[in-house]
Amino acid sequence: MNSSMPRHVVQRVMGALNERGKAVKGSKILVLGAAYKKDVDDLRESPSLEIMNIFLDKGAAVTYSDPHASRIMVGEKLFRSVPLRSSFIRKQDCVVLATDHSIFDYKRSIAAQSLFLTRGMPLR
C-alpha cells in the first residue's frame, strides 16, 4: 500500500457505514491483520497501524486480529489480538481486511458480517 492508502481505506469505510446510516464515531471496527505483509510478524511501516489510529481519532471502537502479532501499540494504546469467532464478528459494524494472512477464514468472516471490506472495497 502506498502512503495515501490508509486514508483511502478509512474514507471508503466511512462511506460504506454512512450508506447504512451509521457514523464512524461509535462504530465497532475489526481490522484483520496488523503486520506489514502476508504471513509475517513485521509491523514496521504497517499501514494497518495508521488505519487503526485514524479510526481511533474519529471515535471508532477498534479491535484487530492477527495471528502473527498478539500485541501492538497504536499511538499510546496497547491492543491485543482478538480471536476470530463468528459471534464476535457479527457484533462488529465493519470488518476491514488490511493484511491478507493465509490463516484467515474469509468465507466464515464474510458470512458473519454484512460489511466486509478489503483495501477499502466492499466484498458485501
pLDDT band at 86 (very low <50, low <70, confident <90, very high): confident
The fold of 5-122 is Rossmann fold (3.40.50)
Q: What is the residue-averaged pLDDT of the chain?
A: 86
pLDDT band at 54 (very low <50, low <70, confident <90, very high): very high
**pLDDT for 106 beyond 90:** no
Mutual angle of helices 5-19 and 47-57, in 10-degree steps:
50
Report how far apart, in Å, the C-alpha atoms of 55 and of each of 22, 86, 87, 111, 122 are. 14, 22, 22, 24, 17
**Beta carbons of 34 and 67 less than 8 angstroms apart:** no
* Distance separating alpha carbons of residues 43 and 121, to the nearest angstrom: 23
Q: So what's the pLDDT on residue 123?
A: 46
Where do the domains of the chain lie?
Answer: 5-122
Choice between 113 and 11, residue whose per-residue pLDDT is larger: 11
